[in-house]
Amino acid sequence: MSGRRHVAGIQRHLEAIYDLDLPDARARDYLVGDAEIDRLVEAGVVEPRSDRPEEQLLVLPDDDGASVALYLSDRVRRALASGPSLQDHCHATEGVSHFVLLAWSAREERPVRPIDLELQAEVDKAGTALLLLRGAGRSDPEQLLRRMFADVQLHPDLGPEERDRYRTAHRLGAEYARRLARLLDRGVDAVLAELRSFYRLTGDAKLTRAAA
């Protein structure tokens, strides 16, 4: 049920796409499930929620300042171990994306905001899916992107600031994903060059490029 192998594979894919090397930060080593979250809620470290998300990157206070945990629900982890759907793969990719960007930003001593994490996750979900689609010899990116970005509903418990952040990341991610799909006509190398350039921009510059 662990899903660690799939999580490790997602991280390897992201590191290959963006030409990153994070040997001391492996998402699979920070993976937690429902039982661990229940204990953190009981300890008052994590706020209880009526409907827990399927994935969440937790930054938790400890004696050294802070520690990180990557939560994937037991349901998603079972799906990863047995053959995930596109939705389950996207849940896992979003969590690993958050982890990788946080680890890379810490190493590079760069600030990272919640909106930066959410936008990059949208780009990572679309970018990895498009490249996997091309690798499988299929040429229907428009259908894939409709499945990923159409008819998305936000959780009703989200506050106004969170809703605005998710809406912005989703809208800009969808626009940028369509640009990546068009760029695929020029080949995989063109997409990789664009993605690697995008990844290294500042947060505000990413928002600007995605909206361009």
CA nearest to 126, candidates 108, 141, 116: 141
Domain boundaries, given as residue ranges, for the chain:
1-83, 113-212
| pTM (two decimals) | 0.93
Give me the percent of the chain exceeding a pLDDT of 90: 68
What confidence score (pLDDT) does residue 63 get? 73
What is the three-state SS of the chain? CCCHHHHHHHHHHHHHHHCCCCCCCCHHHHEECHHHHHHHHHCCCCCCCCCCCCEEEEEECCCCCCEEEEEECHHHHHHHHHCCCHHHHHHHHHHHHHHHHHHHHHHCCCCCCHHHHHHHHHHHHHHHHHHHHHHCCCCCHHHHHHHHHCCCCCCCCCCHHHHHHHHHHHHHHHHHHHHHHHHHHHCHHHHHHHHHHHHCCCHHHHHHHHHC
**What would the pLDDT profile of 3-21 be if each residue is shown by its tens digit?**
899 999 999 999 999 999 9
What confidence score (pLDDT) does residue 100 get? 98
pLDDT surpassing 80 at residue 154: no
Output the average pLDDT for the chain: 90
pLDDT surpassing 90 at residue 95: yes
